[in-house]
A and B are shown apart, each in its own frame.
Chain A
Amino acid sequence: MNYWPLLGIALVVIGFALKFNPMLVVTVAAIVTGLLGGMDFVEVLSTFGKAFNDNRIIAIVWIVLPVIGLLERHGLQQRAAALIRSLKNASTGKLLILYLLYRQVTAAIGLHSTAGHPQTVRPLVAPMALAAAERQHGKLDEETEEKVKAYSAATDNVGLFFGEDIFFAIGSIVLIQQVLATYGYNLAPLELALWAIPSAIAAFLIHGARLVWFDRALARHPRESGDPAQLEKLGSRFRGNDERP
């Protein structure tokens, strides 16, 4: 067996680890892999170009950007934050658990493309999570702000991945069915979708628990917006203590 194409994988791993520009890393890895796999340069570039063209559907989602941008121009992120500030019991964890559930349930009934990072996370979920975190924690330092945003995006991914396979007419279920059919196992898509349910429940429990912990870590910190004297006391208690969520 020709093991040389594995060098392409090594290039990707090294390139990403050293934080070279991913567009260059991917292109170089693709060309090297193709050449080591026995293609000539024209063949490699044609295969790469054809595959890029066949995957143009990935670029379609960007048509939402002008709408999101226009709404941001008119204060959508500020409004999302204001709404959360007006709710007495809102917290980052509770909000994200609710979004996790919403994402899993809508994905499970085949509506996985109705939410996502450009459509919902940037304009709504992340600003709401940040506003809730500020309520719990006071003004956020950069590290905490990054973490709240990262958890918002992560919650969208976890909800999508461990919800969508419950819907029987999705690509991955069709793929599983087709692969197993080539070995003579003819399964109904519904049978496969059924077995995605235990993992979906596990995902809700595991990620939900992490969000609860994240909430507690946020609430443990001092509220800088509070009473100045109280703050001074709290500040001295926390200053020498490098406890971070």
Chain B
Amino acid sequence: MITLHWLYTLAGAMFAVIALLSALDRANPKRLGNAAFWGLMALSLLGGDRIGDFGNGLLVLGLAGLAGFGLIGRSHPPTTSSEEREAWSDKLGNKLFLPALIIPVTALIGTLVYNYTPVGGYGWIEAKRETYIFLAVGVLLALATIFAWLRPPALAPAQEGRRLLDAIGWAAVLPQMLAALGVLFAAAGVGEIIGSLTKSVIPEGSVFLTILVFAVGMALFTMIMGNAFAAFPVMAAAIGVPLLIVGYGGDPAVIGAVGMLAGFCGTLMTPMAANFNIVPAALLELKDQYGVIRAQIGTALPMLAANILILYFAAFR
């Protein structure tokens, strides 16, 4: 059966090659830092299950130290100039979109075929992970197509991958760090504390104000934790179930579904949700690392208000 571990191996191999190329890049004064940083990521993906929890903890300290003390820096691997790219674009025309579409189309068709035809019944792929597996299949198909068609130098995929990965830098690892921080917050009981604090500010007897505290609490706690998944069980236990469902007789389906979506409004406004807000800022090479969040606040706040109204009118029909 194809499992996630196959993908960890694939990604680990990629990080290992990039680490090696970083080490050999004499043009980058921080080449050893880059090599160590991506080398640790390769170690995590290839051997994370064998070095123990404490070993993984040390690995994370290493990553944080290398990034935090400025020991990694952007590299400039060999690539084409913008004039050459214009020339390629004119020469190849719109056919250039075809290899770009291989990845999403493979993931899309693969997922659909696997789930809605008898193929899925054979159990070839780890359950619930088929989209990731087909994403990787799409990557390999796209690479093969590009090589057959455009014949780039053999090292080009690794060098171009390194160019983009170094442009993203430590932001590529931050989402995983934040997920780990969320686990520590939960282990230290932060959820219970927030739940009891929120409960203490609720005025008695007002359905609307209770909904307001529930929805705003979801958004705020999501901003702290970086995802609504951590906030939902806490807010449900503190307000959603005892007050809104049991106390005022609200519809549990609406309170559950729209409560979660109120949390998503918080996700749009927090740097803690790094993979949605900080990584794209790095990926698009924005000067302002909070630029994406700034663009989202104007949607997030009206959406929070909309969710509060939906809760009020739909849960208490």
Contact = CB atoms under 8 A, between A and B. Distances in A.
Contacts of B274: 22
Interface in B102-153: 103-104, 107-108, 111, 115, 131-132, 135-136, 139, 142-143, 146, 150, 152
Interface residues of B, number: 142
Contacts, number: 431
A161 B307 CA distance: 13
A239 interface: no
A113 B107 contact: yes
Given A22-B174, A66-B160, A176-B256, A53 B228 contact: no
Nearest to B99: A71
A97 interface: no
A191 B253 contact: yes
Given A71-B146, A74-B150, A191-B253, A119 B56 contact: no
Interface in B221-262: 224, 228-229, 232-233, 236, 241, 245, 252-254, 256-261
Interface in A160-175: 161-162, 165, 171-173, 175
Interface string A125-152: 0100000000000000010001101111
A22 B175 CA distance: 10
Nearest to B256: A176
A219 interface: no
B202 interface: no
A39 B99 CA distance: 51
A218 interface: no
Interface string A190-216: 011111101100110011001000000
A120 B104 contact: yes
A157 B165 contact: no
A73 B79 contact: yes
Contacts of A18: none
A118 interface: yes
B176 A55 contact: yes
Interface in A46-96: 46-80, 82-83
Given A69-B164, A71-B96, A126-B284, A199 B179 contact: no
Q: Is the interface of A mostly helix, strand, loop or mixed?
A: helix
A14 interface: no
A5 B52 CA distance: 26
Contact of B172 (A29, A62, A83, A113): A62
A70 to B, nearest CB: 5
6 contacts: A46-B54, A55-B180, A74-B89, A150-B288, A194-B253, A206-B299
Given A45-B58, A77-B85, A153-B280, 13 more contacts: A1-B193, A5-B193, A8-B184, A22-B274, A26-B64, A33-B181, A60-B4, A66-B161, A69-B79, A69-B163, A73-B156, A151-B295, A157-B280
